[in-house]
């Protein structure tokens, strides 16, 4: 292994960093493999005439990044080969949905091949999230987090206290908050978000002329969901209806044999509610887009194919913006466009 390591005495790069870079380079080239033993700190310092502190610092950083591991009484070994690249990214998502995947896929397309991204799903579970973060804290160059959590009563929480403390341990230049803004971070942390309250309010205003032809607007907001939705959606919906003096109701799901009336307009959030509603509209022989209307939350290819009107964040922009912030090493708070897409169902 000593023949593989290159230390340039004339370089301005610190010696400990040269050790790190050289080991990573050799792993990426396949010269060093998983579980291969590497020289001890003393042997390394003697071979290259380096201080023990210099080598120890390099090994400490490699251990923190989980590239090497130490076994008491035996020495140091290569422990990770998959994440050896210039940029290693941990992408933490609260649930695996088509639109979350769209954000992730556009991020991957934009970030390019000179990086490695691990996707983990924490299912809005605080304990699972904290365990994932603790386990991987030193192993990545960037942490992209979609913060959506659930309380014991299944209500939505943006950032529980323990999660907030854990996230604050991540260096600010390594952190990107995605989808859900936390004002207390301000401009010190990159944030790319949707404004749940004002987004639905403004999008519905775009479709006001068509919406007004309906007698009643029903928002189907899941009250006790495994993956809870922000209450700010309710606030924006109520604000819109009250401002325009529209008759409205909020229900928690589409029930079997629910009574549909001519002039009803439904806004659905969950996919299953959309499916159940469309089925009932068809069975009751209502004309969709004339007698009964549907607006769905969050765009998917299937909704486009079926002609369902949607109000939706631009998940492509969300993913690409996160990648650009990493590539350009920029910070700031970016509001993602939220669109009203008019189709036949309205």
Q: Using one digit for the tens of pLDDT, what is the confidence trace for 107-133?
A: 999 998 778 888 999 999 999 999 999
Contacts 24+ apart (CB under 8 A), 178-187: 178/103, 178/144, 178/145, 178/146, 178/318, 178/322, 179/103, 179/146, 179/147, 179/148, 179/313, 179/318, 180/146, 180/147, 180/148, 180/230, 181/333, 182/147, 182/158, 186/333, 187/331, 187/332, 187/333
Task: Tell me the C-alpha to C-alpha distance, in Å, between residue 343 and each of 189, 294, 311.
Answer: 38, 10, 11
- The rounded distance, in Å, linking the Cα atoms of 9 and 297 is 60
Q: What value does the mean pLDDT of the chain take?
A: 91
CATH no. of 197-312: 3.40.50.2300
Angle formed at CA 51 by CA 46 and CA 56, multiple of 5 degrees: 95
- Closest by CA to 147, choosing from 164, 171, 168, is 164
CATH 1.10.10.10 in the chain, residues? 2-78
> Of 242 and 6, which is predicted with more confidence?
242
pLDDT at 187 over 80: no
74-81 average pLDDT score: 85
- The rounded distance, in Å, linking the Cα atoms of 138 and 62 is 9
* Bridge partner residues of 313 (DSSP): 338
Sheet with 292-297, edge to edge strand ranges: 248-251, 216-220, 264-268, 292-297, 309-313, 338-341
- The rounded distance, in Å, linking the Cα atoms of 345 and 278 is 10
> Of 231 and 81, which is predicted with more confidence?
231
CATH 3.40.50.2300 in the chain, residues? 87-194+315-337, 197-312
Confidence of residue 40 (pLDDT cuts 50, 70, 90): very high
- The rounded distance, in Å, linking the Cα atoms of 319 and 105 is 7
- The rounded distance, in Å, linking the Cα atoms of 260 and 154 is 29
- The rounded distance, in Å, linking the Cα atoms of 254 and 275 is 9
CATH no. of 87-194+315-337: 3.40.50.2300
Confidence of residue 83 (pLDDT cuts 50, 70, 90): low
210-214 average pLDDT score: 96
**Cβ–Cβ < 8 Å for 157, 151:** yes
pLDDT at 145 over 90: yes
Q: Looking up tokens 């000593």, which residue turns up? A: 2
Structure tokens at 107: 């991020």
Fold (topology level) of 2-78: Arc Repressor Mutant, subunit A (1.10.10)
- Can you give the pLDDT at residue 218? 97
- Can you give the pLDDT at residue 154? 80
DSSP character at residue 336: P
Q: Looking up tokens 């080598």, which residue turns up? A: 55
- Can you give the pLDDT at residue 241? 98
pLDDT at 236 over 70: yes
């Amino acid at each position: 292994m000593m023949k593989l390591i290159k230390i340039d005495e004339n370089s301005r790069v610190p010696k400990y960093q040269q050790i790190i870079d050289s080991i990573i380079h050799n792993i990426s080239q396949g010269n060093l493999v998983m579980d291969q033993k590497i020289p001890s700190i003393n042997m390394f310092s003697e071979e290259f005439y380096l201080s023990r502190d210099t080598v120890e610092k390099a090994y400490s950083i490699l251990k923190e990044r989980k590239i090497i591991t130490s076994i008491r009484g035996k020495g140091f070994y290569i422990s990770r080969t998959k994440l050896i690249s210039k940029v290693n990214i941990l992408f933490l998502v609260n649930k695996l949905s088509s639109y979350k995947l769209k954000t992730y896929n556009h991020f991957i397309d934009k970030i390019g091949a000179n990086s490695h991204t691990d996707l983990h799903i924490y299912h809005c579970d605080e304990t699972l999230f904290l365990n994932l973060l603790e386990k991987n804290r030193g192993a990545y160059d960037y942490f992209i987090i979609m913060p959506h959590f659930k309380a014991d009563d299944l209500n939505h929480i943006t950032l529980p206290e323990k999660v907030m403390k854990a996230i604050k341990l991540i260096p600010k230049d390594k952190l990107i908050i995605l989808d859900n803004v936390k004002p207390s971070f301000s401009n010190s942390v990159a944030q790319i978000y949707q404004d749940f309250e004002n987004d639905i309010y403004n999008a519905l205003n775009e479709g006001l002329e068509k919406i007004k032809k309906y007698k009643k607007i029903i928002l189907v907001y899941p009250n006790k969901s495994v993956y809870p939705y922000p209450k700010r959606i309710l606030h924006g919906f109520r604000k819109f209806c009250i401002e325009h003096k529209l008759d409205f109701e909020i229900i928690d799901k589409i029930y079997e044999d629910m009574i549909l009336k001519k002039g009803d307009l439904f806004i659905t959030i969950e996919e299953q509610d959309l499916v159940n509603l469309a089925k009932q509209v068809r069975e009751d022989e209502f004309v969709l887009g004339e007698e009964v209307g549907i607006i769905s939350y969050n765009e998917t290819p299937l909704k486009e194919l079926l002609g369902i009107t949607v109000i939706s964040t631009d998940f492509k922009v969300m993913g690409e913006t996160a990648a650009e912030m990493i590539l350009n090493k920029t910070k700031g708070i970016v509001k993602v466009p939220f669109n009203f897409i008019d189709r036949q169902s309205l």
